[in-house]
Structure 1
Amino acid sequence: MGAVPTSIFNISSLQGMSLTRNNLSGNLLSSIGLWLPNLNVLYLGGNNLIGIIPESISNASKLTSLDLGNNAFTGSIPKLLGNIPSEIGNISNLVILTLPQNGLIGFIPSTIKLLGKLRILDLSKNRLQGSIPNDVCQLKNMGDLRLNQNELFGLIHECLGNITSLRYLYLNSNKLTFAIPTRLGNLKDILEINLSSNSLNGNLPPQLGSFKVATLIDFSMNQFTGKIPSTIIGLQNLVTLSLAHNKLQGSIPDSFGSMVSLEFLDLSYNDLSDVIPKSLETLSHLSYLNISFNKLRGQIPNGGPFANFTIQSFMSNEALCEEIKLHPMLISYQQ
């Protein structure tokens, strides 16, 4: 009860402090981050603290776990800036590490491999650079890995396929290159995988069909070539599939009609040819379709969900024709 005692902030060696649910009141000391250089953990949630969160808290560079919830703070939240300290590996019992949107720079430290109990790692929406260290592959218990929206480059390591506990893998919006490693097919329990907005190339691996419980696959905005693998027939739980803005060729597999859960399908801006499979008429849950800017030809199906699609779904193809309900005219696209 009362204010946070200022004498605590004279303990420069202090590494962790938990004062949750203690009826504390008043403001936090404005220099809190200047006098606790070794602080890793700060829990002040569930009190009656007021005022602004001091900007100096950004200077506590070793801080990895912070709880200020259920208080009465006002103003903006200062951002935990700078590098991820290598000492992060010392918190060996850490289960969840989330540091998204904090302006973090530098590299992911190799000591991350020491966090063997980690189940969630979210470093998204920062400015991290360098390659994804293969040390991440040592985190055998991890179920959720989010490194998206950074400045990471290089390849996706084959060893990521060894983390068979992964359910969510988000590496999108980086500068990753080379092909998708075939060993990712080992992630048979993956629910969501997003590799979009990189510079990945090569063919889509047939191991794509191993993601049998996946609900979201987004490989858009890359440089993939070749055909869409026929093994995609196994993805019966898939809700969202985007392969847009690549260089895919060949036809749309007729087996797409077996993906009965599909609601969102975007194959636009590729080099796909041949006809639109009539089997897509069986996708009763399909509410969004975009196959524009390809080289498709022939008749547009008119059964099932196609009755609800507009001309925008089929624009700029080689020679498609059909009457659309919302557009009572013959539509023919010529490039």
Structure 2
Amino acid sequence: MFSPTKEKVFMGQNLIWVMILLGQIHGYKSCIQKERMALLEIKKHMIAVAKEGESNFVFPTWTNDTKSDCCRWEEVKCNRSSGRVTVISFGLMYMKESSLLNLSLLHPFEDVRILDLGWNRFSGLFDAVEGNKSLSRLRKLEILFLDLNEFSSSIFPFLNAATSLTKLSLKANNMDGPVPVKELRDLTNLEVLDMSWNRFNDSIPVQESFPLRNLRALSLRNNNFSSSMGLQGKFAHIFHISRICKLKNLQELDLSGNKLVGHFPLCLTNLTRLRVLDLSSNQLTGSIPSSLSNLESLEYLSLLDNNFEGFFSFGSLTKLSMLRVFKIQLVPTFSYQNLLIICFSWICQ
């Protein structure tokens, strides 16, 4: 028989083993100290660039309390078995104008997969030691959100170093000029690229091919692309859609909300893997080609708010068995009527 003292020791030891066993079953470990301290450095940096009076709202759960597990902090997620940070989101903050993000603060996070740096007012990136090679240190980074900042096209050399990226979102920044083809050439793993709601206003240079051959989704929605979509070479700023037509793996393409003129670009009908195609809110003219029937994987097609004319047979869509949404706007032959929007229930439901 155990004495009361020995029985307490025995029960205490058993309790410890039960706790260890439960931890192993659930695969949970607290975050590693190096990354915990790195998160606190990020907080310090963000407080320094926050607007006056906003510092109390910067990562309030990120504390110096040694009992606080950083894997349970807001905007942070960890691998349950390793305790390493895999997701960091900066959330919505109010930064001072022309604030810069020091990328070297992210280097300790060797297993980070997702970075969401959106909804701030960052105007640039810097790293005093690594320079524009900084993001190459994040070898497992797959998804990067930089939406709703004030970044210009000057950040692309930094982004080109993040060669493990599969998704990059740059919506609603201050980017303009030509599409930065050269600055993206090393992102060979990229599958999703969103550069919508910027001010790109020039072509992909004639001598450049579009290097991102693994792209599955591309959005250039609501930019300032203009002039002809043709290949005549008569205009100073031609948006050479033929470069995009070489991206044979594309499944989603959004060029809506630009100033594109000319006929429907026939080379798009060779992108037979397309599921989504949006050319709405441009200035396209002429007839809609019957070769749309080549796009047998198409599920969503919008040609709204253009200037198409002539005869269009809905019979050409019979091969599109996957089509669920079709939006089109035609000018009717009756002069006294306004534009007619046609959308059949069997397609749009």
| TM-score of the aligned structures, taking structure 1 as reference length | 0.62
Determine which structure has the larger helix proportion and give its number: 2
Bigger share in strand: 1
In 1, Cα distance between equivalents of 2:105 and 2:257:
33
Contact 1:105 1:128 in 2 (8 A): yes
Q: 25, 29, 38: which one pairs with 1:21? A: 29
Distance 1:186 1:84 in 2: 28
Deviation at residue 155 of structure 1 after TM alignment? 2.5
Alignment partner, residue 167 of structure 1: 191
Identify the residue that residue 131 of structure 1 maps to in structure 2. Answer: 153
8 A Cα contact 2:103 2:134, kept in partner: no
SS of equivalent residue, structure 2 residue 171: coil
Residue 288, structure 1, aligned to residue 313, structure 2: no
Task: Give the letter aligned to residue 194 of structure 1.
Answer: S
Q: Does 1:153 align with 2:176?
A: yes
Q: CA deviation at 1:235?
A: 1.6
**Which digits, 9 at most, give the CA deviation of each residue in 1:51-85, with x for residues without a partner?**
xx963548x9xxxxxx9454699xxx773844312
Aligned residues: 259
Pairwise CA distance, 1:243: 0.6
Alignment of 1:173-322 (within 5 A): 173-181=197-205, 183=208, 185-202=210-227, 203=229, 204-277=240-313, 278-292=315-329, 294-295=330-331, 316=339
Task: Establish whether residue 87 from structure 1 lines up as the match of residue 104 from structure 2.
Answer: yes
State the superposition RMSD in angstroms. Answer: 4.3
State the identity as a percent: 18
SS in 1 for 2:277: strand
Q: Supply the AA of the counterpart residue of 1:114.
A: S
Q: Is the Cα contact below 8 Å between 2:147 and 2:169 reproduced in 1?
A: no
Tell me if 1:120 matches 2:156.
Answer: no
Distance 2:224 2:195 in 1: 12
Structure 1 unaligned segments of length 5 or more: list them: 1-19, 40-52, 61-66, 299-314, 327-335
Q: Secondary structure at the match of 1:274?
A: coil
Task: Describe the shift of the 1:127–1:269 C-alpha distance in structure 2 as closer, same or farther (beyond 3 A).
Answer: same
Letter in 2 for 1:21: K
Q: 1:162 to 1:284 in 2, by over 3 A?
A: same
The code of the aligned residue for 1:101 comes to: G
Q: Deviations over 1:101-139 (max 9, x none)?
A: 341321244834332236435233332232253413344
Distance 1:128 1:118 in 2: 26
Local SS of the residue matching 1:279: helix
Give yes or no for contact 1:130–1:151 (8 Å, CA) kept in 2. Answer: yes
**Structure 2: distance between partners of 1:89 and 1:34:** 8
Q: Relative to 1, partners in 2 of residues 1:259 and 1:105: Cα closer, same or farther, differing over 3 Å?
A: same
Structure of greater Rg: 2
Map Cα deviations across residues 33-63 of structure 1 (whole Å, 9 max, x no partner): 7995699xxxxxxxxxxxxx963548x9xxx
Relative to structure 1, the CA distance from residue 91 to residue 115 in structure 2 (aligned partners, 3 Å threshold; closer, same or farther) is farther
Contact 2:43 2:58 in 1 (8 A): no
- Any unmatched runs of 5+ in structure 2? 1-27, 48-54, 63-68, 76-90, 230-239
Match in the other structure for 2:3: none
CA gap of 1:113–1:245, structure 2 versus 1, over 3 A, is farther
CA distance in 2, matches of 1:141, 1:35: 26
Cα separation, partners in 2 of 1:34 and 1:125, compared to 1, 3 Å: closer
Offset of residue 325 of structure 1: 8.6
Structure 2 counterpart SS, 1:255: helix
- Residues 168, 248 of structure 1: CA spacing in aligned structure 2 closer, same or farther, 3 A cutoff? same
2:122 match: secondary structure:
coil
